[in-house]
Amino acid sequence: MFIKMPKISLDDGPMRGYSRRCSLLIVITVIVASLISQAVLSSPSNQALFNIDINRMEKIIDEISAFGSRMTGYGGYYKTLDYLSNFFSSELGITPIKHVYQVLVPLEKETYIEILSPYHARIKAYALYPNSVNPSSTSPEGIKGELVYVGAGKFSDFDGKKIEGSIVAMDFNSMDDWLKAANLGAKAVIFIEPDSTTYQESNAKFLDTPISFPRVYVKKSDWETLKHAKEIKLASIVQWTRINATNLIVEFKGTENPDEIVILSTHFDSWSVVPALANSRTELIPVALLMEYARYLKAHPPKYTVLMVFFSGHWQALGERENS
């Protein structure tokens, strides 16, 4: 079987680093979905692959990724849940089943940097993922210190600079060299947005050890405002919060074997080492594909009952919720 697919440009942003594999992922996902579709078609003689509107898929990905962070509990997550619910109820005339459960998530309340001297300005910053259970927040009043830039965080970058009591700024692509700043007595670290990065870089920015050390992220354009500052104040408030999360379940009743069930599932939430920026486009490929397949199943009822499930809480390691 050979399926020729047009290339789709999908930019995950600096936190994911998967965009180079997007076209391949689409091809593999389509092939697998096509094989599954042959098992649930209403007529054994109809072996044609279901048509996929790539432009419509890309439009879905564009629209959902524009909602903002889809980390469970963030604004983009709820907007995506509404988007999916409205799609099935309004476009397909199917009322989804909502499975509600509770989960603890680190919610960012407020993060900013205020420049105190030699000029005054305030810029938006973003908290990084907690160190284990420690969200590494500051007090509501924030912390003050001299801003010291250490580049990629190599030992030579620290030479001759007063780190103890300062707030260190460094390039995001510095692996776990931020620990040098923490060990030298810095109060916090500010990571500067890179042009591109890797998953390994992102995973090096938090620990399984619950140390309290504020780490924040700033956009490159805001760094241009910040980089000439001498004294700054950093405030970052992140709280573990118990929220109601939702899995969305859509049923397509089988015409010949309704008691035999095929489950097609994906997750619609996302993750980033910067939770407030977790709007990965790559993770939306299976979401858009299942929405396309839902249109097909609505027009061509399956032989077996199909349950289409859109999970949340994927990045909170909630494996048990998939068995509930």
pLDDT digits (tens, 9 = 90+) for 237-250: 999 999 999 999 99
| Residues 107, 198 contacting (CB under 8 angstroms) | no
Count Cα neighbours of 178 within 13 Å in the Cβ-side half-sphere: 30
pLDDT tens track for 158-194: 999 999 999 999 999 999 999 999 999 999 999 999 9
**What percentage of the chain has pLDDT greater than the value 70?**
82
Ranking 20-29, 200-209, 231-240 by mean pLDDT, the lowest is: 20-29
Domains of the chain, with CATH numbers? 19-103+243-322 (3.40.630.10), 104-240 (3.50.30.30)
Name which residue leads in pLDDT, 272 or 28: 272
> Whose CA is closest to 269, among 315, 238, 306?
315
Does residue 23 carry a pLDDT above 70?
no
Taking 60 as the threshold, does the pLDDT of residue 93 lie above it? Answer: yes
The DSSP secondary structure of 183-212, one letter per residue, reads HTT-SEEEEEPPS---HHHHHTTS-SS---
pLDDT at residue number 51: 78
More confident residue, 173 or 29: 173
pLDDT score, position 45: 45
Structure confidence at residue 52 (pLDDT) = 83
Looking at the chain, the whole-number percentage of residues with pLDDT higher than 90 is 79
Average pLDDT over every residue of 18-23: 44
For the chain, the farthest-separated pair of C-alpha atoms sits apart, in whole angstroms, at: 77
Q: Which residue has the tokens 């005339």?
A: 93
Residues with Cβ within 8 Å of residue 183, at least 6 apart in sequence: none
pLDDT at residue 24 tops 60:
no
Mean pLDDT in residue range 6-32: 44
Asked whether the predicted pLDDT for residue 16 surpasses 70, the reply is no
pLDDT score of 259 more than 50:
yes
Residue 30 binned pLDDT confidence (cut-offs 50, 70, 90): low
The rounded radius of gyration (Å) of the Cα atoms in the chain is 23
Q: What is the pLDDT of residue 32?
A: 53
Please state whether the predicted TM-score (pTM) of the whole model is above 0.75: yes
What lies within 8 Å, CB to CB, of 59 at 6+ separation is: none
Mean pLDDT of 293-301: 94
Interval 123-151: pLDDT, tens: 999 999 999 999 989 999 999 999 999 99
* Per-residue model confidence as pLDDT tens digits over 40-86: 555 444 444 567 888 999 999 999 999 999 999 999 999 999 999 99
Q: Does residue 22 carry a pLDDT above 80?
A: no
